[in-house]
Amino acid sequence: MLGLLWVLLFTECDGCSSKTNVAVFEFEAVGIEKDLVTTISDLLRLELSECDKYKVIDKGTMIDTLGEDLVVSSMDKAVEYSDSLGASLVVIGHMSKLGNKIIISVSLINKWEKERIYTDKLTSSSVEDLEIVVKRLATSLCEMKKAKESVTVETVTEEEATPRRRRESYHTVGLLVGYLFPMGGSYGKKTEGNWYEDTRLSGDVRRMPGGSGVYIYENPNYMAQVVYRLHGRSQSSLANVAFSGYRFLSLEDISPYVGGGLGMGWGTITTSVDSTYSEYSETWHYHINPESFDGLSLELGGGVMLFRTYDFHFLADLKYHIVFGGGIPNGFILSFGISYKKKSGGGCGCGF
């Protein structure tokens, strides 16, 4: 804040004609050709001269005063040279190469306070991008704000336009099979009277086989599932679409997970069985009376994923499932299955 106030005191104001003298020294460089460094230093002087706050000291004047070597890297040396140049502010910079990238950092030094009142840096992904980088840094030095705040549609650097890397995510689809184990006869209870002697109806509906299709999205720590499942026995049934989220408890090939989700469920519940006796055929006839339901569903539970580092997974899980509709059918779903991500150009049509 003090640095900004100092610059404002020495910059052009309404009715004033004076500007603050600024000396821009050659950049110190590591692993970069001298001609390129000279070009960038000259370009910064040119861009900074467009700022109405500063009067940039001519490079020829600097050479006549200090000699051909204008490379300055230390603040003390820059302050010392500023006296000879009559500059109140001094700009020094550094260029370094990291792979194909060029990193440019600049500092604006207050001669009187002998401190850096502004520092910033930008990265260029190529030599061709350096012109935009220098323009941004000059604007930032003029406006005394960070380069990331001075961006315009014409000065977006290649580095900024490159999509940021993210942790890898993984998509698979698969098939699960298993059983729904109803709780408390919620999918059908034994009633008084005659029951068909098939064990499926000789008491509460206790076990409903079924299967589900599953889409899985996962990253290292979390997994999301979209499941469509069907379970049924006799006239009792469940159809369900659920959206669930789970947290992995391990990053290993065998990864337990816990979580839950919401969805919609609908189906039928066996409410009663009517029986009639045919004297003609001397046999009993049974009529099962189902009752339909639908509502919001909730599931909580967990499981384990095997072969997690492969393009196919084996899953085993146990979930408590309830539908808030009808007689509030609920129970535990035990399921097993596999999911698979097809390789690029594969033929199963189930990868992403």
Encode pLDDT of 57-94 as tens digits.
998 988 998 888 888 888 888 888 888 888 889 999 89
Q: Quick one: which of 179, 175, 171, 210 has its CA closest to 318?
A: 179
Q: Specify the pTM.
A: 0.52
Q: How far apart are CA 315 and CA 306, in angstroms?
A: 6
Q: Are 22 and 87 in contact (CB under 8 A)?
A: yes
Confidence of residue 1 (pLDDT cuts 50, 70, 90): very low
Q: DSSP string spanning 107-174? A: EEEETTTTEEEEEEEEEESSGGGHHHHHHHHHHHHHHTS-GGGS--TT---HHHHSPPP----EEEEE
What is the CATH code of the structural domain delimited by 2-160?
3.40.50.10070
Higher pLDDT, 118 or 188: 118
Q: Where are the domains of the chain?
A: 2-160, 170-340
Residue 10: per-residue pLDDT:
45
Q: How far apart are CA 297 and CA 239, in angstroms?
A: 11
The topology under which CATH files domain 170-340 is Porin (2.40.160)
Q: Find which of 13-22, 123-132, 298-307 is predicted with most confidence, using mean pLDDT.
A: 298-307
Residue 271: per-residue pLDDT:
67
Beta bridge partners of 96: 30, 103
Q: How far apart are CA 176 and CA 315, in angstroms?
A: 8
Residue 167 has pLDDT above 90, yes or no: no
Classify the phi-psi angles of 132: left when phi > 0, otherwise alpha if psi is within -120 to 50, otherwise beta: alpha
pLDDT in tens, 16-63: 447 889 999 999 888 888 899 899 999 999 998 888 888 999 989 889
